[in-house]
């Protein structure tokens, strides 16, 4: 009997030794990252091939920056900040360098970041001199007792904390200025359908299982009276809670605020037992019902990514330990990366 057992054990061992070795992706500690670069009424052919390629390259660069952090065992908070900084530095996107102009011809920048592990958050609104507003939002979270700072106070805090400053001309781009001039002639003319809701964002899960979210925007062309949208509002455009979900939204911010969109996604997961995709779709349906437009990206506590939108497109992408090559999509009829 002992000899029979030994032969069976040896046979099993031989079979295991002949099996194909596990791939690096299969054995790696799971991590995941998704980004967005805003939503719009995009149909195929709206973008030139060159513009399409440039947007995808920008998304890829952001994904690679965040993935570099996660692959090395870095935190989800570091990853979303790194990804968003890349998008803020890219003039194609309405955040940081590519921010749109207000009615008065200024660039007023909003951003928020949230750590799902601690529920700590930081946000800024209407800042005018910080090169990377997402890093200023993080400084508010980590170096002040507050969550949200605005306008002159946020600018002063940025200088005091030593963040990189930029003169007004740094944020100037010819395309955004032309949009403002068009808006001044006809307040609908500047609503470029290929990038109607200009915001950037990222959500991530790191190897420790912690999640985070970050969002940054220049707001709306021609905005007045120090208008603030959903991006820097915790629970509206940005939210993260470990084990549940992290969200970054883009769209008609007033509607996302009314629906507490980012928090709603997480509540649907936590309270209703919905999958992250069901929660994203359900939240976008609630926004559609009251007249809002846009989209959002989300990630659950296991690193599953979801994209929800009610427009014809959203600049979006994802990368993970299981699929370590960046994947991007633009059009609504284009399968979203997973």
Catalytic residue among 199, 221, 250, 283: 199
Ranges of beta strands (E only) in the chain are: 32-40, 109-115, 121-127, 148-150, 199-205, 211-217, 238-241, 245-251, 294-300, 305-309, 313-320, 327-331
Look at residues 10, 12, 198 and name the one whose alpha carbon lies nearest to residue 99: 198
| Separation CA 312–CA 295 (nearest Å) | 10
User: CB of 278 within 8 A of CB of 318?
Assistant: no
Active site residue 199: yes
Look at residues 256, 237, 259 and name the one whose alpha carbon lies nearest to residue 247: 237
Tokens 């996302």 belong to residue: 256
CA separation (Å) from 186 to 102, 107, 221, 313? 14, 20, 12, 25
Catalytic (active-site) positions: 199
């Amino acid at each position: 009997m002992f000899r029979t057992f030994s032969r069976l054990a040896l046979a099993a061992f031989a079979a295991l030794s002949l099996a194909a070795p596990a791939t690096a992706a299969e054995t790696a500690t799971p991590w995941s990252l998704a980004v967005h670069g805003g939503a719009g009424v995009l149909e195929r052919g709206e973008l030139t091939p060159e513009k399409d390629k440039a947007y995808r390259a920008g998304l890829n660069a952001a994904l690679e920056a965040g993935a570099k952090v996660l692959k090395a065992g870095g935190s989800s908070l570091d990853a979303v900040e790194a990804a968003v900084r890349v998008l803020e530095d890219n003039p194609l996107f309405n955040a940081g360098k590519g921010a749109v102009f207000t009615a008065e011809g200024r660039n007023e920048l909003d951003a928020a970041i949230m750590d799902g592990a601690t529920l700590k958050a930081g946000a800024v609104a209407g800042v005018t001199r910080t090169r990377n507003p997402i890093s200023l939002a993080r400084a508010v979270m980590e170096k002040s007792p507050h969550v949200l700072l605005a306008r002159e106070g946020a600018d002063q805090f940025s200088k005091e904390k030593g963040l990189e400053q930029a003169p007004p001309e740094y944020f100037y781009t010819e395309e955004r200025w032309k949009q403002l001039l068009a808006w001044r002639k006809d307040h609908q003319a500047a609503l470029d359908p290929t990038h109607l809701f200009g915001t950037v964002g990222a959500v991530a899960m790191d190897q420790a299982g912690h999640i985070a979210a970050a969002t940054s925007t220049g707001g709306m062309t021609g905005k007045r009276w120090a208008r603030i949208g959903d991006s820097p509002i915790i629970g509206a455009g940005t939210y993260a809670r470990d084990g549940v979900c992290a969200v970054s939204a883009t769209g008609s911010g007033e509607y996302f605020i009314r629906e507490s969109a980012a928090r709603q996604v997480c509540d649907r997961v936590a309270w209703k037992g919905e999958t992250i995709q069901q929660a994203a779709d359900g939240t976008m349906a609630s926004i559609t019902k009251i007249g809002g437009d846009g989209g959002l990206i989300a990630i659950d506590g296991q690193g599953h990514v979801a994209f929800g939108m009610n427009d014809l497109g959203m600049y979006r992408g994802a990368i993970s330990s299981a699929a370590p090559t960046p994947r991007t999509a633009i059009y609504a009829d284009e399968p979203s990366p997973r």
